[in-house]
Amino acid sequence: MRLSQLYIAVLILLAFGLPTRVHAQGSKLPDGQPGSVIGTVSDVNGDTVPNATVVIESSDRTDRRVVVTNNSGFFEFHNVKPGIPFHITASAEKLADWRSPSITIAPNQFKILPEIRLRVPTAITTVQVTQTSEEIATEQVKAQEKQRIFGFIPNFYVTYDPNSAPLTTKLKFRLALKTATDPITFLGTGVISALQQAGDTPNYGQGAQGYAKRFGANTADAFTDIMIGGAILPSLLHQDPRYFYQGTGTTKSRIRHALLYPFVCKGDNGKWQPNYSSLGGDLASSAISNIYYPKSDRGVGVVFTNLAISTGARMAASLAQEFVLRKLTHRKRDSK
């Protein structure tokens, strides 16, 4: 069984098993559910601006809130009313004020604003700077890298913005390496290895030597699965490896969206297409494991059995993303 999918499955069991979980997520979301808006304030040199004042104000001025950016220039607004146009204004000492165009979010949308850059005030300016798609994608990945279930379990491969900018090859490898080298990934590897040790599978024997072999094999499984399915194939095939959270619509449509994720993904061109990257990554990782697994745990049948198990675990993980994990995912703030 592929470690990455086993690891996800274990997390799902943990998520559903704790008494603080929300079990009513399968019901239809109420119309007009508020959304969230986050962003980062920096200066023209790209340095973050702490203690900047950020104001969100609706078009009819009935809803006005003020926050101050943290040491990393990060700010966030929750419970933003959907369907009502609003503006974001940012200001800081000795820098010119910045004001956004009119923005409207959909119910339950998680909106990531492009990086806000405050300029040195000038009497006249005729230059308008527009962010490129790559710059927007970079900011979105920075936000995703702070997403952690319960504040510590990585949840980097989900985007809550349905219109997220496509990832460049560099960003796909960055996200994959971030996931593969996260300490919690190695902790998950250790837990799965211990469970396999108890079940005496694969056939590595018992004792410290048997556990070390299982840990090494599971680490290799996780790394090849994440890198091939999350970076190499998505780059070659121009596909997005992330799960696109739907969050709205009927329960039936959201279930269908989640269950189809292992088979259908969004391409870099924004169109939905067969998810060759995910299936190919699971299949390639399982095939590569034939090199280092014991003879009794090799073979074509084992490869395709592992593929089926990985696909099933991915479907279960997608359902958890759609109905449970959004509520449990927190965004950690960097500190300077």
- Give 32-59 pLDDT, tens digit per residue: 689 899 999 998 888 889 999 999 998 7
In this predicted structure, what is the pLDDT of residue 31? 53
Which amino acid would we find at residue 222?
Answer: A
CA atoms within 13 A on the CB side of 92: 19
In this predicted structure, what is the pLDDT of residue 30? 44
Helix (H, G, I), strand (E, B) or coil at 182: coil
Helix count and strand count (H, E) for the chain: 10, 15
Which amino acid would we find at residue 10?
Answer: V
Which amino acid would we find at residue 228?
Answer: I
In this predicted structure, what is the pLDDT of residue 122? 63
Per 3-state DSSP, the chain is made up of helix, strand and coil in percentages (nearest 5) of 45, 20, 35
Q: Closest Cα to residue 156, out of 279, 284, 8, 46? A: 8
Say if CB 167 and CB 175 are below 8 A apart: yes
Q: What is the pTM of this model?
A: 0.63
In this predicted structure, what is the pLDDT of residue 282? 93
Measured from the Cβ of residue 34, the count of other Cβ atoms closer than 10 Å reads 14
Sign of the CA dihedral with 160 first, then 223, 3, and 313 last: positive
In this predicted structure, what is the pLDDT of residue 185? 94
User: Domains in the chain and their CATH numbers?
Assistant: 3-27+136-331 (no CATH), 35-130 (2.60.40.1120)
Q: Where are the beta strands (DSSP E) in 134-270?
A: 147-149, 153-154, 158-159, 243-244, 264-266
Over the range 144-174, which residues count as b (16 or more CB within 10 Å of their CB) and which as e? bbbbbbeeebbbbbbbbbeebbbbbeebbbb
First to last CA, the chain: 41
pLDDT under 70: residue ranges of the chain: 1-32, 60-61, 122-130, 332-336
